[in-house]
Amino acid sequence: MTIDINILNNWDQAYSWHPFTQMKEYLAHKPLHITHAKGCWLYDNEGRRYLDGNASNWTNIHGHSDQALNEALIQQLGNLQQSSYKDLSHPAASQLCHELASIAPEGLNRSFFTDNGACSVETALKMSFQYWQLTGNPQKKLIIGMEGGYHGDTFGAMSAGNSLTFHQRFSECFLPAHHFIAPQHNDMSKSLNDLDRLLDAYGDQTAILFLEPSVQGPRGMYLQPQGFVQAVAERCQAHHIHLALDEIFVGLGRLGHMLVCTHEGVRPDFLCLSKTLTGGYLPLAVTLTTQTIYDAFLGEFSEGKTFFHGHTFAANPLATAVSVKNIEKLKQRIESGALLRTCEFFGKSIDSYFSKHPFVKSVRQRGLACAIELYPGSKSTSQTFNPNDRVAHHLSLYLRDKEVLLRGVGNTLLIVPPQCMTDFEIDFLCRQTSTAISEYIHGVVRRSGMSLSIAI
Ligand SMILES: *Cc1c(COP(=O)(O)O)cnc(C)c1O
């Protein structure tokens, strides 16, 4: 039975509370109900289509309703939909553990499953704290993170992160943490000096350092220079600090490689994966760790070494089954060269549509991750928009009429296509976005009375 869309809209407006959303603003617009999707296209109840330029919250790899993933899911559904993973196992989870150990750096062979990114970060944090207690270093309980980092919205993850707009309200309850400054453009010396300063002062008391390697996605695609991850890893090793790499965004094909850590030649002590782990099908996350850390927790029950942490839906059979198929398909996409070709075409398209766009102040792009910073134009009297005007967010609403879904934060538009996007779709995405920026910002500038002398 299909329910009338007006009734659904009313129910959404009367009873829902959406994440990261100012509901007053949300209620001012008619809700958009996505009813079905295929490939890179989402469809609403009226049959209008939208190109998924946001990869459905950065999760989608092979497109929506992918035949092979659907079949894997349906097959698993016929066998087992959920069981306990506490002291039981099931075939899909064991297969996924094996698969993850095969793609992870040598020695990072133990998988601990949860069901979202923040929880995979919490897991690394608690494992690290307990490891240091179990090995006679109970003083090691500080966290180090990097400026602008984002690791999720639970308290441990917020403490490791440095996302003040989102988290400052809760900062009084954070765990003790220090943050070093991020590299700027190609200069990592200031950042590493700042890290050295922290390590000299607090290294003995520090348990773990969290880093989103290569690209800080949620911050707005801030890029790190070549060699930076390795330099951080060396410092962690020298100071006996665990290195946790948060590849929740960058891992599994986003930057053109299976994993950033293997590409950078770094073996962390913890590796967090989630967003793309099931190719955008079901919630699943994993914290991979080393045999050394795992071994420290072994003992008689009475010794109290057990890791008392877990979630009800850990290693859910449906999610793990679809994840196995997802990784199998991703391996083919990488080995055939298709993924790198998509990344190259995306990079070229972004460059040709946006690098000289009159309302684009700067572009940050690596792999299939891109941030476009907007401004009123070089000839305008004002060099920037007021962040509270939320230009990028309003532009993303405007883009819906151009059949494109993107996310905008502050003055920055984020473009994160599914890894399977075709050249034609990438070109459509860039062209529509470029046109929308011109039309929309012209309108904004005109309405606000800023003087503008650009002809486009
Ligand atoms: C999305 C994200 C998280 C949090 O994952 P959730 O599943 O939303 O809790 C953590 N780190 C990074 C880099 C992310 O992009």
Position 450 pLDDT exceeds 80 = no
Which residue's alpha carbon is nearest to atom 11 within ligand 1?
151
Summarised one tens digit per residue, pLDDT across range 180-189 is 999 998 899 9
Mutate which of 59, 121, 151, 155 for ligand 1? The one with the most ligand atoms within 8 Å of its CB, which is 151
The whole-number pLDDT of residue 455 equals 34
What is the model's pLDDT at position 181? 98
User: What average pLDDT does this structure show over 139-144?
Assistant: 98
- 58: CA distance to ligand 1 center in Å? 10
CA-wise closest residue to 151 among 160, 140, 138 = 160
Ligand 1 and 249: CB distance under 6 A: yes
Q: Does ligand 1 have an atom closer than 6 angstroms to the CB of 212?
A: yes
Average pLDDT over residues 61-67: 98
Atom 5 (ligand 1) nearest CA: 117
Residues 14-38: what's their mean pLDDT? 95
Cβ of 235 less than 6 Å from ligand 1: no
CA distance 306 to 73: 33
**Confidence label for 454 from pLDDT (cuts 50, 70 and 90):** very low
| Nearest-atom index, ligand 1, CA of 57 | 1
* Residue 279 pLDDT level (bands cut at 50, 70, 90): very high
Alpha carbon separation from 390 to 54, 85, 362, 366 (Å, rounded) = 18, 44, 17, 24
Distance CA 36, CA 56 (A): 13
Highest mean pLDDT among 29-43, 162-176, 435-449: 29-43
Percent of the chain predicted with pLDDT > 90: 90
Ligand 1 within 6 A of 116 CB? yes
Q: Report whether pLDDT(227) > 50.
A: yes
Distance CA 96, CA 323 (A): 7
Distance CA 359, CA 348 (A): 19
242 lines ligand 1 (CB under 6 A): no
Q: Using one digit for the tens of pLDDT, what is the confidence trace for 299-325?
A: 999 999 999 999 999 999 999 999 999
Cα of 2 from ligand 1 centre, angstroms? 33
User: pTM of this prediction?
Assistant: 0.96
CB distance 152 to ligand 1 below 6 Å: yes
Judged against a pLDDT cut of 90, whether residue 99 lies above it is answered with yes
| CA 233 vs CA 16, 210, 237, 240, 329: distances in Å | 43, 11, 6, 11, 30
**Cβ proximity of 342 and 419 under 8 Å:** yes
29-48 mean pLDDT? 95
If pLDDT is split at 50, 70 and 90, which confidence band does 405 have?
very high
CB-ligand 1 contact for 117 (6 Å cutoff): yes
pLDDT for residue 449: 66
Which ligand 1 atom is the nearest neighbour of the CA of 250? 13
pLDDT at 456: 37
Is residue 453's pLDDT more than 50? no
Q: What is the 3-state secondary structure (H, E, C) of the chain?
A: CCCCHHHHHHHHHHHCCCCCCCHHHHHCCCCCCEEEEEECEEEECCCCEEEECCHHHHCCCCCECCHHHHHHHHHHHHHCCCCCCCCCCCHHHHHHHHHHHHHCCCCCCEEEEECCHHHHHHHHHHHHHHHHHHCCCCCCCEEEEECCCCCCCCHHHHHHCCCHHHHHHHHHHCCCEEEECCCECCECHHHHHHHHHHHHHHHHHEEEEEECCCEEHHHHCEECCCCHHHHHHHHHHHCCCEEEEECCCCCCCCCCCCCHHHHHCCCCCEEEECCCCCCCCCCCEEEEECHHHHHHCCCCHHHCCCCCCCCCCCCCHHHHHHHHHHHHHHHHHHHCCHHHHHHHHHHHHHHHHHCCCCCEEEEEEECCEEEEEECCCCCCCCCCCCHHHCHHHHHHHHHHCCCEECEEECCEEEECCCCCCCHHHHHHHHHHHHHHHHHHHHHHHHHHCCCCCCCC
Ligand 1, atom 8, lies closest to the CA of 117
Q: What is the pLDDT of residue 1?
A: 62
At 447 the pLDDT is 78
Whether the predicted pLDDT of 451 surpasses 60: no
Average pLDDT over residues 132-139: 98
Q: What is the mean pLDDT of residues 423-446?
A: 94
